[in-house]
Structure 1
Amino acid sequence: MSLHVEILIAKHFKKSVFKNKAVFIITLFIGLLLLYAAFSGWENYTNQNETSEKYQHESREDWLKNPDKNPHRMAHYGNFAFRKSTPLSVFEFGMEPFFGNAIFLEAHKQNTANFSEAGFSNSMLRFGEVSIAMVLQILLPLLIFFLGFNAIATERENGTLKLLLSQGISWKQLLLGKTLGIAAVILLLFIPTIIILVVLWLVLQNFSISADETIKMGLFILFHFIYLMFFCFIAVLISAASKTSKNALISLIGIWLLFTIILPRTTQAIGAYLYEAPSKIQFQSDIEKDILKQGDSHNPNDPHYKAIKDSLLLVYKVDSVQKLPFNYSGFIMTEGEKISANIYNKHLETLLKVYEQQNSFSKAVSFFNPYIAMKNLSMGLSNTDYDSYIDFQKQAETYRYDMAQKMNALQIKYISNKKPGPNDKPLTIDKEHWAEVDEFQYQPKGIVAVLKSEMISIISIILWISFLFVLIRIAAKNLKAI
């Protein structure tokens, strides 16, 4: 199908747009804002990752430099897990400023992530940082509406609309032509942004990219382009349906406020109200209560652990734990760690179900709001969403549990049951064993996991675009020149 007429309409619209100096100034301002966002994102990324690498390395060195020591003391000495940012987080900050990026890992205790950027920032952070994704998702749609509110409404007001239609131009050609005209203006910002984005992305990875990251980048660009085209169509359709350009502008500003400000805030509030989560203090208190019900591994008279001791004495046919062929204390600590970790994981899964219900409500609203769908998908691809934060916590907990049980296993194997006298050397093992615990390495979610968790957002965007094409067909048949 030839698009000759549509292209002519688009070229004419593009030329007429830049006759307005205000459009030129606003476009230039957003362009400068995109450059600032790129620089800001790059600086945040490099600073955070350099800091994480530095302290992860120092934590590892401190762990290895420990002298000969009892393994249980090493388990309590602990270690740190740091979360590094992914390259796409340069462009989509998401929830990352509010995430903790470090967790202290120790035996018998599950700590939460700390040292979030928000914790060291002033109240201005709650207004949101300027990122490329924020400009693409919020400011460019506003610019599109500013460009498109008078695309057809002004033609109707001036009486030129009837003239255009009388010359054989169809409504479908006019709608598509005006949409392409707005898109052509927006591409003047979008294409340079993507070029900068890709160059930065390559540099940050030293031009060594994986297939997984390449797919994420491709989808990030593709869906943002689709998202912007959606708003181009909306602007033209509203302008075509409005009697005056003033009415079109008011309607479009109302839609922008509803999509980007009102619905996202309202959705979060309703989700938290419908599915109330326990406070952090309540969560930790419930875990401690359940652990105490199960037994206290540090209390020699605890019924649960006394039963274990009696059964061990019976099996090995000895009358005291000192005569067991392995370290009894290490065995008890292994059991205690297993119990406390299981209880923590059960409570955590219950809590995560509540948060999942809250997030599922927000994702369901994406069928009514393309901005929420695009925001969720953008954060997922950049690994700056809530699921990525939880994934980091789970990886850190797995590492913590393995570290604690490794120390308990060393205690069982190498530490004697006989307590040293007041003048004897403390019971220790060689410091070379500390290297048997690998350094923590955070692994971001892969593309398959991201697509699985954000499938609702993808379906929502596709449905919105499909709905618009249907709407254009209906509008082309029913719109009137007057």
Structure 2
Amino acid sequence: MPPPQTITHWRTCIWNIWRHPSSIKHHHMFSTIAIKEWRMVLRNHAMVAALLSALLLSGIASIGSRITLQEEQREREAANREFRRQWEQLQTNDPHGAAHFGTYIFKPLTALSGFDRGLDPVTGSTLRIEAHIQHHTATPPLSPADVYLRFGELTPATVLQLFFPLLIFFLCFNSYAQERSSGTLRLMMIQGTNKGTIMWSKTIVYQCIVAGTMLLSLLLYLPVIFKAASPLRILLLLMGYLCYSSIFVIIGIWVSAVARNARQALLWLCSIWLIWNVIAPRLTTAAGAALHPLPSQYALQQKIDQAIKTGIDGNDPREARTARLLHETLRQYQVADVSQLPVNFNAIRLQADEDYAQQVYNKYAKATDSIIRLQNSINQYAMLADPYLAIRSLSMALCGTDYDHQFYFDTEVRQYRNTFIHRLNQAMIYDREPPADLYYNMPVFHFEPPAISSTLSRQWLPLASLLLWIGVSISLLNSVARHAPTE
């Protein structure tokens, strides 16, 4: 005998159906329209060819990204081992000379670095550590082919952000206009359905098609992601792209309903894609660079060198700082001459110069960072009007290839460099002969990216933009469902 809860449930269902028999008909029409739309997509050879082309393009991007990621990972691991071997086997009795010999640090790759390259091709991934000189992250040289690549590298993220919206618009531009022009729209409404049911049935079908195509296109890359990436990052990334695709599906159905014919709908949708995905990103970037220009690297280095030489405020030259340091050191050890010091004053001076240079560098690095963030703020506010900018920012952040991750990496490397040079100078202060294992025991740089909570706290605006556009597109579709013409 079934439990009482089950009996009560079925009684409620039967009672509701008896009181509202139209709900069965409404549900039947919903599924009928969805099945009919699916069959129309399968019969349209152009749409099938477009879906297969999207799968092929995504497959090429996924395979290429996997190969590139694996090659770069092998190269960086081999370079790290080689530079570490050179450092551990370094033969010199002068720790300061070893500091000038220096070493190299390579930004670690994540499992999602190949999915969305972000700013990595621009910011670089290699940084040299050396005494007295604060090197910048080395950027790769511009290859001749890069001049002609206006959409960046072909990665899974590029395909999903740029080419999938075009596919979606190509699928949806004729969805409602065809029903109206062929006369089937009036037939369906005579049978008891309404325009809202028709539009939402088509929306669900096309969203399922797009979601299935997206997941199929990522099958070649998902093993790499699930192997090392955080499940939470993967889930958020997939939800972000599904939300992004839903916006274009709903907008595509809406334009198909408000346009006079399919040709006009296609023209409008192509214009929307051109504005959102091509023109707006370049305009916002150009506006940020024009409103908040960055100084050239040469001019910035000139200011840093001048500040080290004459002082941060311009009134504290290096010679005066050295004289004060000597006076304080002699007074600390209560001796009258530098030759009577029990420590190596040259090493003390070298470390003092390093500390002062770091203060100068921090001052100009902070000023440069503030300018870059002002430039990025133009893009951030433009996200509210452009979902492409929102998904691009969210994708880079979740993949660890945005500016915040690069700034965090640069900060960690600077701290490691200061500790690195400090230990070498300290070995000269009290020991005339450095320990035999000094270079072997130098700590290895280890980088841990920011936590996912920290990343999401800085991505509230892209998330808000995607949710805003989901709400706006749903409101537009519901509105046109009440006022769209039937002929």
TM-score of the alignment, normalized to the shorter chain, above 0.5: yes
Partner of 2:470: 465
Q: Is the 8 A contact 2:308 2:318 kept in 1?
A: no
Q: Which residues of 2 match residues 57-206 of structure 1 at below 5 A?
A: 57-116=81-140, 118=142, 122-203=146-227, 205=228
Partner of 2:301: 284
Q: Which amino acid aligns with 1:26?
A: A
Q: Which amino acid aligns with 1:135?
A: V
Q: Is the 8 A contact 1:68 1:430 kept in 2?
A: no
Cα 1:290–1:301, aligned 2, differ >3 Å: closer, same or farther? closer
Q: Deviations over 1:126-175 (max 9, x none)?
A: 54221111111111111111111111112222222222223221222111
Normalising by the residue count of structure 1, what TM-score does the alignment of the two structures yield? 0.91
Cα 1:169–1:252, aligned 2, differ >3 Å: closer, same or farther? same
Q: Which residues of 2 match residues 15-414 of structure 1 at below 5 A?
A: 15-116=39-140, 118=142, 122-203=146-227, 205=228, 213-294=230-311, 302-414=319-431
- Partner secondary structure for residue 105 of structure 2: strand
Normalising by the residue count of structure 2, what TM-score does the alignment of the two structures yield? 0.90
Aligned counterparts of 1:41 and 1:293: Cα–Cα separation in 2 = 49
Partner of 1:418: none
Gaps of 5+ in 2: 1-22
Cα 1:195–1:337, aligned 2, differ >3 Å: closer, same or farther? same
Q: Is the 8 A contact 1:9 1:181 kept in 2?
A: no
Q: What RMSD in Å do the two structures reach over aligned CA positions?
A: 2.0
Q: Deviations over 1:237-271 (max 9, x none)?
A: 00011111111110000001111101011110011
Farther off after superposition, 103-112 or 157-166: 157-166
Partner of 2:32: 8
Q: Is the 8 A contact 1:98 1:117 kept in 2?
A: no
**Displacement after TM superposition at 1:33 (Å):** 1.1
**Displacement after TM superposition at 1:360 (Å):** 1.2
Q: Which amino acid aligns with 1:36?
A: I
**Displacement after TM superposition at 1:432 (Å):** 0.5
- Count of matched residue pairs: 460
Q: Which amino acid aligns with 2:233?
A: K
Cα 1:115–1:357, aligned 2, differ >3 Å: closer, same or farther? closer
Cα 1:443–1:121, aligned 2, differ >3 Å: closer, same or farther? farther
Aligned counterparts of 1:311 and 1:140: Cα–Cα separation in 2 = 67
Q: Which amino acid aligns with 2:96?
A: H
Q: Deviations over 1:272-307 (max 9, x none)?
A: 111111111111111111111229xxxx98111112
Q: Which of structures 1 and 2 has the larger relative contact order (alpha carbons within 8 angstroms, sep 6+)?
A: 1
Q: Does residue 474 of structure 1 match 2:479?
A: yes
Cα 1:443–1:3, aligned 2, differ >3 Å: closer, same or farther? farther
Aligned counterparts of 1:152 and 1:96: Cα–Cα separation in 2 = 42
Q: Does residue 445 of structure 1 match 2:444?
A: no
Cα 1:467–1:340, aligned 2, differ >3 Å: closer, same or farther? same
Q: Deviations over 1:85-126 (max 9, x none)?
A: 110122112222223111110112111112527469653455
Aligned counterparts of 2:66 and 2:99: Cα–Cα separation in 1 = 37
Partner of 2:5: none
Gaps of 5+ in 1: 416-427
Farther off after superposition, 76-85 or 193-202: 193-202
- Partner secondary structure for residue 109 of structure 1: coil
Aligned counterparts of 2:143 and 2:74: Cα–Cα separation in 1 = 19
Aligned counterparts of 1:125 and 1:254: Cα–Cα separation in 2 = 21
Partner of 1:425: none
Q: Is the 8 A contact 1:97 1:117 kept in 2?
A: no
- Partner secondary structure for residue 299 of structure 2: helix
Q: Is the 8 A contact 2:122 2:139 kept in 1?
A: no
- Partner secondary structure for residue 104 of structure 1: strand
Q: Is the 8 A contact 2:59 2:218 kept in 1?
A: no
Aligned counterparts of 2:214 and 2:310: Cα–Cα separation in 1 = 59
Task: Give the percent of matched residue pairs that are identical in Structure 1 and Structure 2.
Answer: 27
Q: Deviations over 1:181-233 (max 9, x none)?
A: 21232234122134433222234x3xxx6xxx211111111111111111110
Aligned counterparts of 1:381 and 1:328: Cα–Cα separation in 2 = 49
